[in-house]
């Protein structure tokens, strides 16, 4: 992607300028970010997706008197209110995992590292529908796909939430700006900006969402992976306490056990590339509801394209794919990085891989993580 050229998507500024001036800093409204944008799937296709097992969906209803109701999917049509009833919204998460054109739309946002990109969420609302004034912990691009939505936004310090409601609703929303978005218009909001979007007539909004790992959750994930020994032949170190005296307080933890545990953590972290490996595996791990269909025919590997659900990342030493890591160097590393960045490799490039790398690539094709096509 050319990060220095002006983009209509960003209102005529380059990705470089956008990241420097707006990303994480201030909102940006772009009229006709995607000129003539048409919804990638119609209302009934979206609602059908919301009814499927393995697709994350929610129904939000305004009940009046400041009351809200939240229902988690799957949401078959019979669980949805009537289309002529105002004030309800269905939100479908991870549409890019199921719909190729949604995955392609996300590619336009790859001026942000893939490790930060989350998913495409699509909301469908009837007139006056919305999820209430709230804030999110992550950046979001709100692309209007169908109908109109009135957004009110504000940067407020007081982010206290209403108690006893099933949704995150701000107690005191103080809007500072207001915009009505029409199809093709897009609003970028940094994390923690208060916002409230209300449908004016039937409306569909696409949220290009980012993920911001929580430090404590990431630490937990990394520790779990650090404890997964990469060298199965490594000698097992077992706690020993030949000097343990007899105790009168049997429930008290022995101090030596704490020292043993601290050493274990220090050793795991000190292992070369252990943190890099664990982080890459964690960041490339697909969401729990993601599955792959193994290939039907096992032929020659030709042109290769990553499956839309595959997460592939790399660092200076590793290639990470769907939660697994491989050390790579030389031409193999170059080609695998190219596959991760462009999500495809041409057959003449595939032919340059070493036998080991080719075998690995074939196993990804067999697992349905990538597909081989003659063209």
Binding site for Co ion (CB under 5 A): 136
Of the two residues 184 and 197, which places its CB atom closer to ligand SIN in the complex? 197
Of the two residues 55 and 140, which places its CB atom closer to Co ion in the complex? 140
Beta bridge partners of 186: 30, 143
Of the two residues 184 and 280, which places its CB atom closer to ligand SIN in the complex? 184
Of all residues in this chain, which one has the CB nearest to Co ion in the complex? 136
Of the two residues 97 and 340, which places its CB atom closer to ligand SIN in the complex? 97
Compute the residue count for the chain: 375
As measured in angstroms, the least distance from the Cβ of 173 to Co ion is 12
Return the SS3 of 364.
helix
Of all residues in this chain, which one has the CB nearest to ligand SIN in the complex? 123
Picking from 148, 154, 155, 142, the residue whose alpha carbon sits closest to that of residue 129 is: 148
As measured in angstroms, the least distance from the Cβ of 151 to ligand SIN is 8
As measured in angstroms, the least distance from the Cβ of 333 to ligand SIN is 38
123 binds, among ligand SIN, Co ion, none (CB under 5 to 8 A by kind): ligand SIN
Identify whether the C-beta of residue 30 lies closer than 8 Å to the C-beta of residue 140: no
Sign of the CA dihedral running 95, 292, 73, 47: positive
322 binds, among Co ion, ligand SIN, none (CB under 5 to 8 A by kind): none
Return the SS3 of 279.
helix
Other CB atoms within a 10 A radius of the CB of residue 195 amount to 23
205 binds, among Co ion, ligand SIN, none (CB under 5 to 8 A by kind): ligand SIN
As measured in angstroms, the least distance from the Cβ of 131 to ligand SIN is 5
Strands 57-64 and 67-72: antiparallel
Of the two residues 61 and 195, which places its CB atom closer to ligand SIN in the complex? 195
Picking from 245, 236, 230, the residue whose alpha carbon sits closest to that of residue 264 is: 236
As measured in angstroms, the least distance from the Cβ of 189 to ligand SIN is 8
Burial class of residue 91, CB neighbours in 10 A (0-12, 13-18, 19+)? buried
197 binds, among ligand SIN, Co ion, none (CB under 5 to 8 A by kind): ligand SIN
Report the alpha-carbon distance of residue 374 to residue 372 in Å, rounded: 7
DSSP 211: -
Of the two residues 197 and 280, which places its CB atom closer to ligand SIN in the complex? 197
As measured in angstroms, the least distance from the Cβ of 58 to ligand SIN is 10
119 binds, among Co ion, ligand SIN, none (CB under 5 to 8 A by kind): none
DSSP H/E element including 43: helix 43-50
Residue 354, C-beta contacts closer than 8 angstroms, at least 6 positions apart:
331, 332
The per-residue b/e assignment along 46-70, b for 16 or more CB within 10 angstroms, e otherwise, is: bbebbbeeebbbbbbbbeeeeebee
207 binds, among ligand SIN, Co ion, none (CB under 5 to 8 A by kind): ligand SIN
Q: Could you list the residues that contact ligand SIN (CB under 6 A)?
A: 89, 123, 130-131, 136, 140, 195, 197, 205, 207
Of the two residues 142 and 279, which places its CB atom closer to Co ion in the complex? 142
Of the two residues 135 and 320, which places its CB atom closer to ligand SIN in the complex? 135
- Which tokens hold the place of 196? 């409230």
Picking from 98, 57, 96, the residue whose alpha carbon sits closest to that of residue 80 is: 57
As measured in angstroms, the least distance from the Cβ of 85 to Co ion is 23
Return the SS3 of 284.
helix
Strands (DSSP E) contained in 253-321 are 303-306, 312-314, 318-321
As measured in angstroms, the least distance from the Cβ of 167 to ligand SIN is 11
As measured in angstroms, the least distance from the Cβ of 205 to ligand SIN is 4
Of the two residues 119 and 136, which places its CB atom closer to ligand SIN in the complex? 136
């Amino acid at each position: 992607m050319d990060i220095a050229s002006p983009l209509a998507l960003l209102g005529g500024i380059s990705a470089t300028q956008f990241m420097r001036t707006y990303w994480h800093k201030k909102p940006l409204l772009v009229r006709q970010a995607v000129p003539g944008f048409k919804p990638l799937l119609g209302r009934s296709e979206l609602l059908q997706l919301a009814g499927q097992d393995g697709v994350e969906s929610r129904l939000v209803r305004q009940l009046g008197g400041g009351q809200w109701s939240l229902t988690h999917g799957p949401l078959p049509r019979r669980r949805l209110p009537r289309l002529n009833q105002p004030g309800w919204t269905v939100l479908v998460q991870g549409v890019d995992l199921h719909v190729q054109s949604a995955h392609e739309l996300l590619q336009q946002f790859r001026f942000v590292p893939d490790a930060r990109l989350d998913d495409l969420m699509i909301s469908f609302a009837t007139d006056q529908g919305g999820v209430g004034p709230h804030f999110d912990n992550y950046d979001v691009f709100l692309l209007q796909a169908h109908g109109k939505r009135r957004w009110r936004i504000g940067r407020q310090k007081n982010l206290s939430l209403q108690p006893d409601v099933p949704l995150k609703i701000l107690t005191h929303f103080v809007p500072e700006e207001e915009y009505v978005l029409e199809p093709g218009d897009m609003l970028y909001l940094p994390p923690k900006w208060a916002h409230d979007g209300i449908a004016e007539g039937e409306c569909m909004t696409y949220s290009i969402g980012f993920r911001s790992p929580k430090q404590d959750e990431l630490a937990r994930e990394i520790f779990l992976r650090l404890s997964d020994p990469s060298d199965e032949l490594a000698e097992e170190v077992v706690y020993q306490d030949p000097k343990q005296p007899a105790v009168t307080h049997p429930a008290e933890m022995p101090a030596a056990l704490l020292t043993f545990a601290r050493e274990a953590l220090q050793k795991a972290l000190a292992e070369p590339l252990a943190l890099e490996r664990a982080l890459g595996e964690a960041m490339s791990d697909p969401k729990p509801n993601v599955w792959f269909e193994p290939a039907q025919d096992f032929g020659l590997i030709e042109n290769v394209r990553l499956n839309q659900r595959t997460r592939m990342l790399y660092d200076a030493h590793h290639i990470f794919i769907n939660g697994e890591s491989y050390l790579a160097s030389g031409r193999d590393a170059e080609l695998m990085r190219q596959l991760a960045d462009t999500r495809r490799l041409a057959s003449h490039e595939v032919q340059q891989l070493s036998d080991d790398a080719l075998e690995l690539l074939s196993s990804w094709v067999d697992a349905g993580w990538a597909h081989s096509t003659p063209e």
